[in-house]
Structure 1
Amino acid sequence: MRELWNLLLFHPLINSLIALYKVTGNLGWAIIILTVILRLAMTPLILPSLKLGKKMQELAPELAKLKEKFTGNKQGLALAQAELYKQHGANPAAGCLPQIIQLVVLIALFSALNSVLKPNGAGLVEHLNPLLYSFNRLDSDFHLSTKFLYLDLTKPDVSRVPSIPIPIPGIFLLLSAFVQLISSKMMLPVVNREKKLAQKTPQASDDAMVDAQQQMLYLFPLMTLVIGFQFPSGLVIYWFIFSAVSIIQQYYATGWGGLTPWLKKIHR
């Protein structure tokens, strides 16, 4: 299994990263280009999930009516929802496999980046060459430049101030958390409608679902910040670019989604 993992995912990704570094001479740009290419290459896997999200957004008013109609009747609600999905050709489970494949690819990319972002110095060439194809191997005097803008890509994107006991997140770490918040919000197109329904129905399940959605909305950006304090900033760059491209794809597939109420408030 490990050999298959290396053959199909890990080795191609780490070789692509090193090849892009040789072309650009900059590890930051190599990470950005590889992330964009990979995200675009995964578009056929992403589209079913995005289309499903748009379909569920369109069905949200009907689903809300069904929840109100079948209050206290879980079995009746499940049957009615299944019939509604069947009528409109929507399958909530259809996006599961593409999501799993995406996750596997992302883990492989994370592993490749983490291998390259090990502290530079003696032993780096010996560490990387066994992972590289023969035409892509590094010379013994190879030195990996890890500088990108103000960052050392092998170190966390944080600053330390003597008078403040905790590190201060850097620009890219804050941007990563922000785009993660935007992405999460865009994926929740019916939160407000469901929240109103939860207030009108006695079922605890509605309230629990809305509460869970609201918690997840802010949990992912918070996790991005917490993890970013520990991980190399090169991984933060990757996550920022990946999330930014995801927002663009999400917008063209389904619009602003749950971000619409926020945008309306801004334009007032």
Structure 2
Amino acid sequence: MWNTIFFQPLLNALIFLYNLLGQNLGWAIIGLTLLIRGVLTPLTLPSLKSGQKMKELQPELNKLKEKYGQDKQVFAKKQLELFQSHGVNPAAGCLPQIIQLVVLIALYQAFNLVLQSDGNLVVNLNKVLYAPLRLGQDFVLNTKFLYLNLAQPDLFSIPALKIAGLTFNKLPGIFLILAAAVQFFSSKLMMPTVKTKESTDDLAASMQTQMLYLFPLMTLFIGFKFPSGLVLYWLVFSLIMLVQQILLNNGKKH
């Protein structure tokens, strides 16, 4: 069922776009990302709006924290009442995040198959490609995109450096740095702009601060291990989400 619903359609879409866009895997990944983002937008937009409302309610949450902070049960009840009165669902972001994670896993599986180099690429691809998209035996995948080899991590080699007993000879590439930066700014936009002592002590605010740095660091770590094709997908996907968040914020101001 996993292959039928997620993996196979994504892989076929990737190969279709690869052929459509001049056999350029980079543009195919970007095109697939735009397609996925378009499909997921109706699911993610309510999550973004809910996050924006929670951000706007932060001053009122701080007042509740100050008034009822000593009684956690009362505070939780008042907090829920505040959310309900403004139509905010704190769990609104769960389903979109789960779907995005599932898509990312399926894409990783697809990229693993497409970017393999064991000589059996055509045979293995044709096992899961729909009949009109099946490849000839002379098919050769073009993994070049700008300076990237999409089958390899986006890293630059440097002279070996020893720091605290550890040896470093690689630095993250431009796309990997951009992906981490976009993650940082996306998380930053979702954080409350008004901070008080109470909001600093709040568990949710503390978790938000941790996530602000955790997601970019995770992006860098993953980018060191996985093909840059996956990083390219994550960069474009996150960039679209950042633009949507900026537009949503600007719309609230007017």
The TM-score, its normalising length taken from structure 1, stands at: 0.85
CA contact (8 A) 2:144 2:150 kept: yes
Report whether the alignment pairs 1:60 with 2:58.
Answer: yes
Structure 1 pair 239–81 and aligned structure 2 pair: CA distance change class (3 A): same
Q: CA deviation at 1:163?
A: 4.3
CA distance in structure 2 between the partners assigned to 1:58 and 1:150 by the alignment: 42
Matched with 2:139 is 142
Partner of residue 202, structure 1? none
Letter in 2 for 1:33: G
In structure 1, the residue matched to 2:173 is 170
Correspondent of 2:150 among 153, 163, 168: 153
Q: Which residue of 2 aligns with 1:217?
A: 212
| Residues 1:236 and 1:102: Cα distance change in structure 2 (over 3 Å) | closer
Partner secondary structure for residue 160 of structure 1 = strand
8 A Cα contact 2:183 2:216, kept in partner:
yes
CA shift at 1:256, angstroms?
A: 10
For 2:231 and 2:100, locate their aligned partners in 1 and report how far apart those are by CA, in whole Å: 18
Q: Is 1:133 paired with 2:125?
A: no
CA RMSD after TM alignment: 2.0
* CA apart distance, 1:134: 0.7
Q: Provide the rounded CA distance (Å) in 2 between the counterparts of 1:179 and 1:74.
A: 35
8 A Cα contact 1:158 1:168, kept in partner: yes
- Cα distance in structure 2, aligned partners of 1:234 and 1:117: 9
2:161 corresponds to 1:180: no
Per-residue deviation at 1:154?
Answer: 0.6
Task: Write the letter of the residue equivalent to 1:28.
Answer: G
Distance verdict in 2 for CA 1:217–1:145, change over 3 Å:
same
Residues 21-100 of structure 1: pairs in structure 2 closer than 5 A:
21-24=18-21, 25-100=23-98
Deviation at 1:198, TM superposition (A): 4.6
Structure 1 residues 88 and 163 mapped into 2: Cα distance closer, same or farther (>3 Å)?
closer
C-alpha displacement at 1:102, in angstroms?
A: 2.9
Contact 2:55–2:190, Cα closer than 8 Å, also in 1: no
Matched position secondary structure for 2:159: coil
Q: What SS is found at the alignment partner of 1:167?
A: strand
Distance between the aligned counterparts of 1:178 and 1:219, measured in 2? 12
The normalised TM-score by structure 2 is 0.89
**Larger strand percent:** 2
Q: CA deviation at 1:147?
A: 0.8
Q: Tell me which residue corresponds to 1:203.
A: none
Equivalent residue, structure 2, for 1:247: 242
1:122 paired to 2:134: no
How far did 1:176 drift? 1.0
Match of 1:111 in 2: 109
Q: Is the 8 A contact 1:51 1:254 kept in 2?
A: no
CA distances 1:98-128 after superposition (whole Å, capped 9, x unpaired)? 3323322232223222321223x62110111
**Equivalenced residues, count:** 245
Gaps in structure 1 of 5+ consecutive residues: 200-205, 258-268
State percent identity of aligned pairs.
56
